[in-house]
Amino acid sequence: MNYHWNWWIFFEPSLDGTNTYLTTLFWGLGWTAATAVVGFTIALVLGSVVGVARTAPIGWVQTSGMVFVEVFRNIPLLVQMFLWYFVLPEVLPRDAGMWLKQFPNAQFYTAAVCLGFYHAARMAEVVRAGLLSLSRGQKMAGQALGLTLPQTYRYVLLPVAYRIVVPAITSEFLSCTKNTSVGIAIGLVELTGTARAMQENTFQVFEAFAAATVLYLALNMVIVFAMRSVEKAAVIPGLGNRIAGRGR
């Protein structure tokens, strides 16, 4: 094998002349984490709204919730990324489009919003499953107490539903973190992107990707440990039917 190994490459200065390649990899890790956190926050909020909409006893609200989920679930993430990045500014009025394009860090915001909508569709299904797993009596009891429908959701249904679906939220968050790498296609310099750039400039393919692999594993472990404590705190004694995620 005429591959030329060089593990010292991480300590050599990268292209910007000041940072080492190792530092740039950590910057990439930082962008990955930031994109995942912002994206997943959007997904949680939007996903809850849509998830509630899908269980609401109002026809058109249910339908629009369903349309949202089907649209964002059935188009590949990469295609959605292109739609947000290349197509959206073209269909907006010219000034608004230009404003979007000149936005500083446009790749980051685009990727975060895109991931937010993509995972919102999946979070909506999780929230819906949580709500549907509650017994009908909960809702009836809430309304018998004189709560309005929004109040019933806010004070009775959602708090319990969220606590049931924490494991599913964990796996969605993990999957959202991994999906930030799709941002590479619109120029987001997250972890995979920095590893790729390092590979292109040093030609040390396997060292660069090995480092990225280790960093992803570490990030994964941090998330799993953090979420495990959340899961412990959220567990409801006696309510066994927790909904686990199948995220990716």
Window 188-227: residues binding other proteins (CB under 8 A): 191-192, 195-197, 199-203, 205-206, 209, 212-213, 216-217, 220
Distance CA 148, CA 156 (A): 11
Token representation of residue 48: 């809850």
Applying CB under 8 A, the span of 42-50, 53-61, 67-75, 146-154 interacting with other proteins comes to 67-75
* HEC secondary structure over 134-199: CCHHHHHHHHHCCCCHHHHHHHHHHHHHHHHHHHHHHHHHHHHHHHHHHHHHHCCCCHHHHHHHHH
Query: Does residue 66 touch other proteins according to CB under 8 A?
Result: no
Residue 182 binds other proteins, judged by CB under 8 A: yes
Q: Please say which residue, 17 or 240, places its beta carbon nearer to other proteins.
A: 17
- x/- track of binding to other proteins for residues 117-156 (CB under 8 A): ----------------------------------------
Establish if 98 lies at the interface with other proteins (CB under 8 A).
yes
What type of residue is 89? Answer: P
Nearest to 23 by CA among 156, 164, 183, 211: 211
- Total number of residues shown for the chain: 248
> Cα–Cα distance between 161 and 23 in angstroms, integer?
41
* Residue placing its CB nearer to other proteins in the complex, 28 or 142: 28
Residues of the shown chain interacting with other proteins in the complex, contacts defined by CB under 8 A: 1-4, 15-18, 70-71, 73-80, 82-83, 85-87, 89-91, 98, 101-102, 104-107, 174, 178-182, 184-185, 187, 191-192, 195-197, 199-203, 205-206, 209, 212-213, 216-217, 220, 246, 248
